[in-house]
Structure 1
């Protein structure tokens, strides 16, 4: 499934993405299925959902082709992305506490919901580069983990 992502409009727009809807495709019987588990740490409450996009370089911070969603669980939430082809990707996640399918921001443009990137890529005056968040996925079953950051509560 594809999801619309918000374009990076300014340096203050730290995380310009809207997560993909829950991946619901299934592989035909008997065929192996590629499954990426994303363990998201730093979930502050059970409000809403944790939304994750998994993007190749061409889609990073734009429209991501792959993603998943799971109900928020305080502490750690695992999101599953199915049928991900082998490749190099970067993952971006946020806690959508009000289920409005976007990262809420304060008047200064800082996210008011927890956000994070694979490799715990640093967020400075804008989103991280693809290279700092990139990881290789060889197919099959694999797990990555990273933390949500909270900038403005």
Structure 2
């Protein structure tokens, strides 16, 4: 068996030091959404993460989280989120039926909100009004229910 020279040993140590970095993801991948303005602790708060403008806010999300509200707020957490442009939609599903309650005119009767807290009148928020950029660092957002 051949001996490793001084230069070879240095290369080996550098390789061993760098190897764990190569195995780690290239992004922080964590998004936390603090939902405030939840009127009571009934039901669940549902958060959905969207990366496609065409599917926001009601289309199929990239990821979703459902949590019980406590004390007027809830915290949704998404992990494994790659860098990119996203928007979050949130609803307080007070009756836990899996959908946003609306009246006969289609106006929501349960709390809702989106990232950026966009609140257009007489229409759903658009992706570009609610979008944020996910970079290499963890992101924290606050969404206030309407």
Segments ≥4 residues shifted beyond 3 Å: 30-33
Query: For structure 1, which runs of at least 5 residues remain unmatched after alignment?
Result: 1-29
How many angstroms does 1:133 deviate by?
Answer: 0.4
Pick aligned residue for 1:93 from 72, 81, 90: 90
SS at match of 2:129: helix
- Cα RMSD of the aligned pairs, angstroms, is 1.6
How many angstroms does 1:58 deviate by?
Answer: 4.2
TM-score (ref. length: structure 2): 0.75
Equivalent position of 1:123 in the other structure: 120
Larger Rg: 2
Which structure 2 residues correspond to residues 2-151 of structure 1 after superposition, within 5 A?
31=24, 34-56=29-51, 57-61=53-57, 62-149=59-146
8 A contact 1:39–1:76 mirrored in 2: yes
Distance 1:82 1:109, change over 3 A: same
Q: Give 1 or 2: higher helix fraction.
A: 2
Residue-pair matches, total: 120
